[in-house]
Structure 1
């Protein structure tokens, strides 16, 4: 039985392809049941988020899972194959540990993925596809993630512009969870920022873009809503945090627009983050009393301060994961020996039963109990030693030393 991980994520596939193979949460249990029913898969769990669709399975035929994934979503296998990764046992375990610890996330160290993995395990258990192997793996995964987060600073320091935008906003607002956040643009940087802010659970998350369709597609990933850039003058005053990053050659948000927004907000503070070069937000806006405007240079200072400590945290986290992978694989290998251990014990018990029945029969005839017990012990010893003795006697040439050493280790014999 092979343990492996298969799927695609933000490292291997664009969002347009990730969307096509994503699973709806309310349909995951049925999908898992289908997988184990239609393919020779013994255990399975599916992790499906906006950034990844990954399947963790135990099967003799890993290739059939990729085939099933394509069939289930009605896409050609050839279309997704170049973007799929298939990780065998050791690599699969390490991958799961890294994902749960936030080392493989678009937002390094983000905590939401751990909850999503726990949900994946629960759904697999409800579907009846979480067997002994995957159950143990998930439990170890959660334990590793907890150790990484509690003993390293993986989530404590800022190492990206997107994370810095959140950190600077938190200097003004104690809790992002109470604020409305507006993103202007729908490119990669806005996507990263939205992922960071979404992790804080804002009161509202909105994407404004020149093309409404593109804004709606990005907003849907974070359970937000969308507006066009034409609606900015009217809507701006509703938002506490505004993050802008477009390719516009001229500012999109001008001084007059913000002054009107502040008037409608009754001068409640507003954080504005301009990640665009050239700028999207007019520089004069920084002079307004109730606006806290941050530029790319401001964010760069925050990032620089966090890089050194975060790098050490990643090193520490990887060391923890490497050790835990080794421990889990040791458990798997010990589990592989269970059938042989069971067979050995069953064979020994058969020999014991045979000698016991012979002894009981002799006692029933009135023979001396001491002689019967002596004969029982000798008979049991002879039968138990028969196989290893034959194994030693059959060894020839250079194998004699190897066989002899093996038997000595097996029976814990004194080498002296």
Structure 2
């Protein structure tokens, strides 16, 4: 059984590929069940965000697990291979630690990914695919992320994607205070973006969501003038907004080119800033070709979030040193765990020997034998039986590992033959 991780991220694959391998939250239980049910993995967890799709698993056949990913999304594996990475046990541990610590993110040092990994672990646990191996990996991952945050300045001065949304809007419009902002969705990312915009006191923030209750609840948590509308009203209201930010779990675009053409015409060509933070995309790519529309995706805002990266890069070196040490600890835990069956077998063998000798002693006592002589015989029998295997091994000649065996026995029993 091998611990492996495979997938792609913003560094290895463009958005057009990443969105094809995304796992919306409502598909995770079925995907996890499918992977484990295929026998390609015994344990599995899937991390799927706008920047990455990664599968962590305990697998008897890593190649089959990788093939499952392509088959699940109905894509040719050969088409995906140029964008995929596959990591062995030590590489998977190091990668998980780096991702959780914000070292592998578009925004160096960002913290949102840690919560997303915790969500993935909870989903795996709820689906019954989080076994001892992956649980050990992720518990160590969370501890490492906490240590990196507390001992380095990796998160200092970082600009999140939600804050970048406001910065981009400020580059297009003179004042956020004059804008109407439409947020499509009601998840964590939209809440973060809406909160950042609310801090700039725009004219209006509207939450459009399929579930009206969630939209209204989010609007109620925001400061300033807010409202909530059903997503079905989008065609009637979209032309009223200067800023449109979307992040939903939809598998198909919500805003098409035709809808925005009508909206731009109704706005009399006043500019509109659109930010699509969804993977797969919520806004058709062709929308960005329209005049007066400034459309950005998660990949387009990389330059904005680079602010302060140089200072955080120094902290990243400290974080890498911490991670290297913790990977060694995790591998040590794995090695110790791997020896458990051998230890159990050794103890079971010793217990069987004890039970056999004890049964023989009881029979002698029942026949009236002298207890002192029975105890003497019992001790000799136990000693002889327990010492027979190592003595026989040491007495054998011509073994390929004769010296190594002798050294191992000396260490096991703390022997010093040269001083005898």
TM-score by length of 1: 0.70
Aligned match for 1:220, one of 218, 242, 247: 247
Check whether the contact 1:2–1:60 (CA below 8 A) recurs between aligned residues. yes
What is the Cα deviation at residue 404 of structure 1?
1.5
1:5 correspondence with 2:32? no
Aligned pairs for 1:177-216 within 5 A = 198=193, 202-203=197-198
Partner in structure 1 of residue 98 of structure 2: 98
Partner SS state of residue 58, structure 2: strand
1:376 correspondence with 2:368? no
Partner in structure 1 of residue 318 of structure 2: 316
Mark the CA change 1:356 to 1:150 in structure 2 (over 3 Å): closer, same or farther.
same
Residue deviations 1:300-330 (CA, integer Å, cap 9, x gap): 9x94xx4554232101111111111000000
What is the Cα deviation at residue 230 of structure 1?
6.1
Aligned match for 1:358, one of 335, 338, 360: 360
Partner in structure 1 of residue 120 of structure 2: 120
What is the Cα deviation at residue 403 of structure 1?
2.1
Structure 1 Cα separation of the partners of residues 273 and 96 of structure 2: 40
Structure 1 Cα separation of the partners of residues 107 and 266 of structure 2: 30
Check whether the contact 2:180–2:243 (CA below 8 A) recurs between aligned residues. no
Mark the CA change 1:80 to 1:168 in structure 2 (over 3 Å): closer, same or farther.
closer
Mark the CA change 1:132 to 1:327 in structure 2 (over 3 Å): closer, same or farther.
same
What is the Cα deviation at residue 142 of structure 1?
0.6
> Which sits farther off after the overlay, 146-155 or 406-415?
406-415
Partner in structure 1 of residue 228 of structure 2: none
Structure 1 Cα separation of the partners of residues 243 and 85 of structure 2: 29
Partner in structure 1 of residue 281 of structure 2: none
Check whether the contact 1:32–1:127 (CA below 8 A) recurs between aligned residues. yes
Mark the CA change 1:161 to 1:23 in structure 2 (over 3 Å): closer, same or farther.
closer
Check whether the contact 2:169–2:273 (CA below 8 A) recurs between aligned residues. no
Check whether the contact 1:47–1:116 (CA below 8 A) recurs between aligned residues. yes
Structure 2 Cα separation of the partners of residues 14 and 55 of structure 1: 18
Partner in structure 1 of residue 406 of structure 2: 404
Partner in structure 2 of residue 61 of structure 1: 61
Partner in structure 2 of residue 74 of structure 1: 74
TM-score by length of 2: 0.69
Aligned pairs for 1:230-309 within 5 A = 303=307, 306=308, 309=311
Mark the CA change 1:88 to 1:74 in structure 2 (over 3 Å): closer, same or farther.
same
Check whether the contact 2:24–2:249 (CA below 8 A) recurs between aligned residues. no
Structure 2 Cα separation of the partners of residues 133 and 345 of structure 1: 24
Residue deviations 1:21-45 (CA, integer Å, cap 9, x gap): 1111012011101111123311000
**Which protein has greater RCO, CA pairs closer than 8 Å, 6+ apart?**
2
Partner in structure 2 of residue 333 of structure 1: 335
Partner SS state of residue 337, structure 1: helix
Structure 1 stretches of 5 or more lacking a match? 171-175, 184-193, 207-211, 240-247, 254-274, 276-295
Partner SS state of residue 6, structure 2: strand
CA RMSD for the aligned pairs? 4.1
Check whether the contact 2:271–2:292 (CA below 8 A) recurs between aligned residues. no
Structure 2 Cα separation of the partners of residues 161 and 27 of structure 1: 25
Partner in structure 1 of residue 131 of structure 2: 131
What is the Cα deviation at residue 238 of structure 1?
12
1:30 correspondence with 2:30? yes
Structure 2 Cα separation of the partners of residues 199 and 145 of structure 1: 27
Mark the CA change 1:222 to 1:101 in structure 2 (over 3 Å): closer, same or farther.
farther
Residue deviations 1:85-138 (CA, integer Å, cap 9, x gap): 100100000000000111101111111100110010011011111000001111
Partner SS state of residue 8, structure 1: strand
Mark the CA change 1:199 to 1:107 in structure 2 (over 3 Å): closer, same or farther.
farther
Check whether the contact 1:163–1:196 (CA below 8 A) recurs between aligned residues. no
Check whether the contact 2:40–2:62 (CA below 8 A) recurs between aligned residues. no
What is the Cα deviation at residue 337 of structure 1?
0.6
Partner SS state of residue 130, structure 1: coil
> Which sits farther off after the overlay, 91-100 or 153-162?
153-162
Structure 2 Cα separation of the partners of residues 97 and 74 of structure 1: 30
